[in-house]
Amino acid sequence: MAKGSVLTPQAEDFPRWYQDVLAKAELAENGPVRGTMVIRPYGYSIWERIQAEIDARIKECGAQNAYFPLFIPESYLRREAEHVEGFSPELAVVTHAGGEELAEPVVVRPTSETVIGEYMAKWIQSYRDLPLLLNQWANVVRWELRPRLFLRTSEFLWQEGHTAHVSQADASAYAMRIHHEVYDDFLRDVMAVPVQLGIKTTRERFAGATNTMTCEGMMRDGKALQMATSHELGQNFARAFDIKYLGDDGAEHLCFTTSWGASTRLVGGLIMAHGDDQGIVVPPRLAPIQAAVLCVRDQPELAEVAERLSGELKDAGVRVHVDHRSGSFGRRVTDWELKGVPVRVEIGPRDLAEGLVTLARRDSGEKQTVSIESVAAVLPRILEEIQAELLASSIRRRDAATAEVSTLDEAMEAGRDGFARIPWSAIGEDGEATLNAKTLSVRCLQRPDGSLPESADEEDLVAVVARSY
């Protein structure tokens, strides 16, 4: 760490910078069991904002929230062979409880396709019951060998959607709708992260799925982060759990199912997509605190103005916090910079004498003085400017680090520090194995124009190659 710096500079050691940010911005720390994490209040407030934005979009797509058990009979997982094989190394299994050995071991849920499938089979009788659109907000456990806070932890929080449909076409259309209207919309319009949309290769596909769609974001170190996925499950789980319906033709049919999810990994993505050497940078539409009001000195007249401004900003729809702490003004400024609050409203005796306050932007560091009377009108416009600029700068950064290449060697070179786009036909399964051996992977397959294909059978698909978290 450079002398006098609060954080290790990104260019010096990006992983160390990430760990520094988690601690200094008071986001999270390691839990008492290896691989677990304690999410601190400020970190959790960001997750609550993510939840609220994603949950509203899920409900707009017609899904309803429910809750299913944390413990799943081991036999449920074994009914879908590919699924249990895919998760077997990550499972946490309970064999004893209440001082006795259990007659059947139970698994701490790594995901809920199996238990939800069991209940879908009970709840669905007729085509009139379809589509059945469910979502749950929960914790899951996947025993990670190399945990990293928010990015890969043995226990994490997420939403997982599970749906049943009358046809493959209906299931596919709904999974794609979720991918566009929930995940891509949230990531771009709220989190200000432009993502590569595509489908996973057979090697990278979710265990038990017939098709997996992904949102791949680029972090500031050039690595990819899988930020959300949507899966078409075909009839694999319907067959295993007997999820059937009576059609309008009087015959019995297997349902087609989907699942889709996003997790607390998004908090890690937020940190690494926008953070700088001063801390995290939270886009205004996501920020739990959009404006922090600070008094330069501990004086009653300044505190009175701070409270009045806070009320006016709240009335204007701004999420605002008044910093009542005493002590060094510089230290408090540094704290809010670390936390990435979009705007600081600084009230000092000299400015106040002239009826002014200072507005400081977190993204650019730009400061401007405005009249006290105009703050509630000016600040919402500045917040939208910050939101737009964060997205624009993310797009510029991604595009500058994305290379169009034509050979596997070129893809391996470009993919070390960004995204390499290469015709899928130039890689194939053998080339994909070569990439994996070099710690690279095909993050997704997409159409030449970057849009989401319907299947891997489309011609002229392009592979996006990168290192990943």
**pLDDT reported for residue 200:** 97
Kind of pairing, strands 71-73 and 100-108?
Answer: antiparallel
> What is the C-alpha to C-alpha distance for residues 292 and 284, in angstroms, rounded to an integer?
12
pLDDT at position 139 over 90: yes
- Rg, the chain, Cα only: 25
Give pLDDT, residue 323.
96
Q: Give the pLDDT band of residue 404 (cuts 50, 70, 90).
A: very high
- Calculate mean pLDDT across residues 431-435: 96
Q: What percent of the chain clears pLDDT 70, i.e. is strictly above it?
A: 99
Whole-angstrom distance, CA of residue 446 vs CA of residue 454: 9
Inform me whether the pLDDT recorded for 53 exceeds 90.
yes
Give tens-digit pLDDT for 234-276.
999 999 999 999 999 999 999 999 999 999 999 999 999 999 9
Looking at the predicted structure, is the pLDDT value of residue 39 above 80?
yes
pLDDT-derived band at 5 (thresholds 50, 70, 90) equals low
CATH number of 403-466: 3.30.110
Burial class (CB in 10 A: 0-12, 13-18, 19+), 145: exposed
- Burial state string for 235-272 with b = 16 or more CB within 10 A and e = fewer than 16: bbbbebbebbbeeeeeeebbbbbbbbbbbbbbbbbbbb
211-224 pLDDT tens trace: 999 999 999 999 99
The 10s digit of each residue's pLDDT in 153-209 is 999 999 999 999 999 999 999 999 999 999 999 999 999 999 999 999 999 999 899
pLDDT exceeding 90 applies to what percent of the chain? Answer: 93
Once rounded to an integer, what is the mean pLDDT over residues 375-390?
98
Q: Give the pLDDT band (50/70/90) at residue 89.
A: confident
DSSP-assigned beta bridge partners for residue 444 = 464
Least confident of 12-26, 68-82, 123-137: 68-82
Superfamily of domain 14-274 in CATH is Bira Bifunctional Protein; Domain 2 (3.30.930.10)
Summarize pLDDT for 342-359 with one digit per residue, the tens: 999 999 999 999 999 999
Given a cut of 50, is residue 435 above it in pLDDT?
Answer: yes
Report residue 2's pLDDT band, with 50, 70 and 90 as the boundaries: very low
pLDDT band at 428 (very low <50, low <70, confident <90, very high): confident
What single-letter amino acid sits at 125?
Q
Whether the predicted pLDDT of 336 surpasses 50: yes
Pull the structure tokens for residue 266: 């998004």
Q: Is the pLDDT of residue 414 over 70?
A: yes
Distance between CA atoms of residues 303 and 101, nearest Å: 62
Task: Find the mean pLDDT for residues 139-152.
Answer: 95
* CATH number belonging to domain 291-382: 3.40.50.800
Those residues whose C-beta lies under 8 Å from the C-beta of residue 241, and which sit 6 or more positions away, are 79, 80, 114, 117, 118, 120, 121
For the chain, give every domain's residue range: 14-274, 291-382, 403-466
> Is pLDDT at 113 greater than 70 in this prediction?
yes
Mean pLDDT of 326-331: 93
Q: What is the mean pLDDT of the chain?
A: 96
Q: Is the pLDDT of residue 4 over 60?
A: no
Q: Amino acid identity, residue 32?
A: P
